[in-house]
Structure 1
Amino acid sequence: MPCNDPTVCQLPVSKKTLLCTFEILNELGKHVLLRQDCGPVDTKITDDKNGTLSSVLPLLNNPLSQDFTVKMASIFKEFVVTYNRTYETKEEAQWRMSIFINNLVRAQKIQALDRGTAQYGITRFSDLTEEEFRTIYLNPLLKDNAGQKMRRAQSVTDPAPPEWDWREKGAVTKVKDQGMCGSCWAFSVTGNVEGQWFLKAGDLLSLSEQELLDCDKVDKACLGGLPSNAYSAIKILGGLETEDDYSYQGHLQSCSFSAEKAKVYINDSVELSQNEQKMAAWLAKKGPISVAINAFGMQFYRHGIAHPLRPLCSPWLIDHAVLLVGYGNRSAVPFWAIKNSWGANWGEQGYYYLHRGSGACGVNTMASSAVVD
């Protein structure tokens, strides 16, 4: 007899991890189950050395075994050495190891639910709780988008080439590291201005994020900010100094900007279309684009093209500003190439690859650029 009540239906017992999807119609507060699908999923987690941590997964199901404790201690020790971690006390080390084990399970779930080619696993952030990671590295102010209003950019009429990469054309500086500071907004904007100045003057300069942290009085330094406010601050201040002249400290200081030392200026800033085809066409002709995304899964991202399910990576909950530097396809999967600001020992040499064309993680919701005339 068929089981019509999904709340009491039992799935057949299986040794495999199953991923189930449900399609539910919500009409006037009533929920009707339209469709349910369950199938086995690949639950491999990648490791630093040989690619997989699949040997750990049976252990995660039996955390009381002696084998589990020994294996986990060994993997955690390798993490501590790889990422040069130090802890004050033995108790803190044990606490961090328990977080690390929980994070392996979280990475496994994120892996199972990703529709792209991304691999998730151990990263430099694997001993942080979700709350710590969000508080230290992300930017809660982005989701409100209450910054300066910008004019809409004119669309580029030329069609987007099939692929483009500004790194190959000399318009992108090396990957930087924002440190333990929620200053991604400043890195996203300086990256964009570096590209705009390169296209205008033919000179690639690494520009100062610290100037924005200290001198942009509308934004909140390490507590977050908005690209639109940062463009406005650059205009009001009279330009940006270089990284060499005004170096990054990763915390708020008093403003020591000197107009005489400013090496670049901007005239305006523009908001770009949310159509990803138009964004690609604009990028190929006009330079790297500042965007904001929902950073779901990025704590454990290692490589490949991420494509999280929309409910898990809502475009309304954007919390991290980054820089689109190119786009293309890998094995027929379309991607955006994204410069991040968490150092070169994160992701693919500091870069994140995200599915293109589906509005993944809100990548198209806050695209902008400085204008240099």
Structure 2
Amino acid sequence: MISNKCVPVYIFISCLVFVVSAQRGRNSDLPPGPYCALTGCCKGRVDDCSKPILGTLCYCDEFCNQTRVEDCCPDYQSECLGITPEPDVTIPAPGETRSCTYEGINYGIGRTVKKNCNICKCEAIGDTVEFLCERNHCLMNALIIETVNRERNYGWTATNYTKFYGKTLDEGIATRLGTLQPERSVMNMNPVRKIYNPESLPRQFDATLEWPNYITDIQDQGDCAASWAISTAAVASDRFGIVSKGQEVVRLSAQELISCDKRGQQTQNCRGGYLDRAWAFIKHRGLVDEECFPYKGFDMACDLDIFGTLRDNRCRIPPNSQRTSTYLTAPAYRLGNETDIMYEIMVSGPVQATMLVQNDFFTYVGGVYEQTDIVESPKKGFLSVRIVGWGEEYTNRGLMKYWKVANSWGKDWGEDGYFRIVRGRDESEIESFVVAAWPETERRRYPSIPVPRTVVY
């Protein structure tokens, strides 16, 4: 009678099949020995080839029952069969699950969680489990925010914006900028030369205080790369009110540029546009007002005919206006240096500028901005903005000259939608391409601006 042994020799190989599974299933709490290393009797059937273990016996002969955990000694495989056991794999106790923890919450294997802009998946790696995450550069970068605010020698402060959190830098550049770099022929245009005394310019000027009823309010372009359209429409709007001395206070439609200015632009799906082509559109066709064609923040059908009236006749001329056409401007012209820009703003109103934006700018909340050296990604893009004034401020780095600039990311960003940036050093290339245009008001038109070689188209 056979008891606790695989006695027949012809089934010895069958017994070996169970070695690995039996040893893997052995309780990891068993005393490790040595056992068989001391007996010296691994061959044949020797019932006395055993060692005491946990109040019973374990065997080291080749007929030990390897299907029973308590029969073969723990070191049987290594000492008698020459098999190196695989590393133990931790098996959860009943009711226990292996999980990853994030912000106090456990996530089982295979579950995902979003950490800022990266998707992380809970994975089992050997005896451990951990989140494996994507490696995207995030729009809200904790390192930048902490460094700028801790060191306090950059001249500005940073914050974590909820509406930008969770987005990648690529998404921010694609949806929150949207100005295409001017072509070389446009960049090579000579700037307008103005006659004035630079010494007469004041140290401070703010168009929003000088003409509070005429300056366009801050807009939010949303996730549409429309800074080119919003800044163009806003500069033209400001100048209609200022030049007409309040007779034509209007907010022009940026949506018309996005939806209707398709010639040479990349406006489909809000992918951006060129400033020179936007001004050419206004010169030749003009814009309707915002109420007539309101901003939607996405590329929609151009519901205007060539004369600028809605096909279903919803477009109305503002009350008490004598205007019979859309709002047109004369050719746009370029401004060449710091004091020319200042003089132009003081005399005729805000101007339009492009600036090169990198990761840290998205976190700006206040102060006089200049690019830092702590940006982790080299990716950048162009943003169109409206310069409305200038000033000076004493900081821990001395006297800082700045521009006051209107952005199009909403009033909950920056200084109520505005930001200040270092003036006179072409910081972020903000002084490299600055343009303006005269409005053609109903009371006076400007058909012969003497700038034939300096217009931007």
- Structure 1 pair 240–145 and aligned structure 2 pair: CA distance change class (3 A): farther
Q: In the alignment, is the contact (CA less than 8 A) between 2:148 and 2:157 conserved in 1?
A: no
Q: Which deviates more from structure 2 when the two are superposed, residues 158-167 or residues 173-182? A: 158-167
The equivalent residue for 1:353 is 420
- Decide which structure has greater helix share: 1
Q: Which deviates more from structure 2 when the two are superposed, residues 143-152 or residues 323-332? A: 143-152
CA drift of 1:355 comes to 0.8
The equivalent residue for 1:53 is none
Q: In the alignment, is the contact (CA less than 8 A) between 1:156 and 1:282 conserved in 2?
A: no
The equivalent residue for 2:177 is 138
Q: In the alignment, is the contact (CA less than 8 A) between 2:173 and 2:380 conserved in 1?
A: no
User: Could you tell me which amino acid in structure 1 is paired with residue 351 of structure 2?
Assistant: I
User: Could you tell me which amino acid in structure 2 is paired with residue 272 of structure 1?
Assistant: L
CA drift of 1:264 comes to 1.9
The equivalent residue for 1:298 is 361
Alignment identity in percent? 22
For 1:290 and 1:360, the matched residues in 2 are separated by 15
CA drift of 1:167 comes to 0.6
User: Could you tell me which amino acid in structure 1 is paired with residue 341 of structure 2?
Assistant: M
TM-score between both structures, scaled by the size of structure 2:
0.56
- Structure 1 pair 265–330 and aligned structure 2 pair: CA distance change class (3 A): same
Please state if 1:216 is matched with 2:261.
yes
CA drift of 1:369 comes to 0.8
Deviations 1:233-256 (A, max 9, x none): 11222x111111101111112222
- Decide which of 158, 161, 172 is 1:120's aligned counterpart: 158
User: Could you tell me which amino acid in structure 2 is paired with residue 365 of structure 1?
Assistant: S
User: Could you tell me which amino acid in structure 2 is paired with residue 255 of structure 1?
Assistant: C
Alignment of 1:187-226 (within 5 A): 187-201=230-244, 202=246, 203-217=248-262, 218-221=264-267, 222-226=270-274
- Structure 1 pair 232–311 and aligned structure 2 pair: CA distance change class (3 A): farther
Which protein has the larger Cα radius of gyration, Structure 1 or Structure 2? 2
For 2:185 and 2:167, the matched residues in 1 are separated by 30
| SS of 1:333 mapped into structure 2 | strand
For 2:112 and 2:195, the matched residues in 1 are separated by 58
- Structure 1 pair 102–220 and aligned structure 2 pair: CA distance change class (3 A): closer
Please state if 1:344 is matched with 2:411.
yes
TM-score between both structures, scaled by the size of structure 1:
0.68
Number of aligned positions between the proteins: 285
Higher RCO (CA-CA < 8 Å; seq separation 6+): 1
Alignment of 1:1-373 (within 5 A): 69=103, 91=112, 93-94=114-115, 96=117, 103-109=141-147, 116-123=154-161, 124-139=163-178, 141-142=180-181, 144=183, 152-159=191-198, 160-168=201-209, 169-170=211-212, 171-201=214-244, 202=246, 203-217=248-262, 218-221=264-267, 222-237=270-285, 239-257=286-304, 258-260=307-309, 263-273=326-336, 275-296=337-358, 297-309=360-372, 319-331=382-394, 332-372=399-439, 373=446
List alignment gaps of at least 5 residues for structure 1: 1-65, 74-89
- Structure 1 pair 294–111 and aligned structure 2 pair: CA distance change class (3 A): farther
For 1:326 and 1:117, the matched residues in 2 are separated by 19
CA drift of 1:213 comes to 0.4
Q: In the alignment, is the contact (CA less than 8 A) between 1:291 and 1:367 conserved in 2?
A: yes
For 2:242 and 2:112, the matched residues in 1 are separated by 53
RMSD between aligned alpha carbons? 3.1
- Structure 1 pair 214–268 and aligned structure 2 pair: CA distance change class (3 A): same
For 2:155 and 2:138, the matched residues in 1 are separated by 24
